[in-house]
């Protein structure tokens, strides 16, 4: 494996459900199973995506946007030094896509960490 070899990410599946919250009622969202590979290394990470309170109906129905955001989140974590062998709970809150932009400005992800 080359140290410069990039990770590849692919969504394997998604499960839409309502998830219990420790501080209130259940919240709708999707758990995405993301396959992560580099050379002979193969991992699977789960990313739970919940919706921001102002998420539109279109955002809540856009599986492509949701899954791409989950993969972008993991890609950002990989670039920050996280390694998939380090199992951790990945939960993010999805907002609406930025108007007229395919992605936000560099360094400003459109997801945010779920804070307990």
Task: Please report the pLDDT score of residue 14 as a whole number.
Answer: 96
Rounded CA separation 65/96 (Å): 9
- How do 90-94 and 41-51 pair as beta strands? parallel
How distant is the alpha carbon of residue 10 from its chain centre? 12
Place of tokens 């998939």: 84
Number of domains composing the chain: 1
How do residues 19-31 score in pLDDT, each as one tens digit? Answer: 998 888 899 999 9
Rounded CA separation 104/21 (Å): 28
17 versus 4: which is more confidently predicted? Answer: 17
In a domain, 58, yes or no: yes
Q: In terms of residue numbers, what domain contains 37?
A: 8-113
In a domain, 92, yes or no: yes
In a domain, 43, yes or no: yes
For the whole model, what pTM was predicted? 0.79
Q: Where are the beta strands (DSSP E) in 3-83?
A: 8-21, 24-38, 41-51
Q: Are 58 and 15 in contact (CB under 8 A)?
A: no
Residues linked to residue 33 through DSSP beta bridges, in sequence order: 13, 46
């Amino acid at each position: 494996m080359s140290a410069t070899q990039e990770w590849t990410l692919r969504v394997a599946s998604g499960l839409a459900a309502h998830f219990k919250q420790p501080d209130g009622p259940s919240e709708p969202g999707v758990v995405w199973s993301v396959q992560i590979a580099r050379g002979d290394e193969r991992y699977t990470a789960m990313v739970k995506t919940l919706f921001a309170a102002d998420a539109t109906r279109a955002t809540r129905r856009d599986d492509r946007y949701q899954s791409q955001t989950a993969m972008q989140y993991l890609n950002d974590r990989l670039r920050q030094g996280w390694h998939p062998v380090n199992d951790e709970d990945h939960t993010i809150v999805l907002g609406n896509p930025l108007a007229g932009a395919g992605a936000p400005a560099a360094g400003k992800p459109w997801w945010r960490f779920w804070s307990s």
